[in-house]
Amino acid sequence: MQNFYSIIGKECQKDWEIVEDKGKLYLSNPKYKTKKFMIGIVQEFDEKENKIRRNMYPISDPEHDPYNICFNINYNNNYELIPNKFHNVFNSRKVKRLNKYIKYRQEREKKKKEYELLNRPN
């Protein structure tokens, strides 16, 4: 009797399928048609089933994943699964502050020019 079971990770999109090719398991998605992705596994203990749950994720570099639906592994201190989704940099706090500063500087320049026009020496 096996003390584990495997499922496709809940963070993955719904269309993923497990495919066997030459004795190895891969994940495939209809968006990529014939392309097969390596499987990354994150294990968790399922107390309800009293078994180890193996969550399977498609692994690919962001360069080879134009639809951004796969995952990548970060090998720093411990292994971390990172989605290949593009993060919008323009909504970050730093960029918002920079945009406010630019707007403030433009208003200051406008007021400075108005002041210079009104108080020009004759």
SS (HEC) of the chain: CCCEEEEECCCCCCCCEEEEECCEEEEECHHHCCCCEEEEEEEEEECCCCEEEEEEEEECCHHHCCCCCCEEEECCCCCEEEECCCCCHHHCHHHHHHHHHHHHHHHHHHHHHHHHHHCCCC
Residues 52-56, mean pLDDT to the nearest whole number: 87
Predicted confidence (pLDDT) at residue 107 exceeds the cutoff of 60: yes
Q: What is the pLDDT of residues 6-43, one digit of tens each?
A: 888 888 878 888 888 899 989 999 988 889 999 888 88
Owner of token pair 């995952």: 71
Dist CA 119 CA 4 (whole Å): 82
Average confidence score pLDDT of the chain: 85
Residues 69-83, mean pLDDT to the nearest whole number: 81
pLDDT computed for residue 91 by the predictor: 75
pLDDT computed for residue 3 by the predictor: 72
Q: What percent of the chain has pLDDT over 70?
A: 95
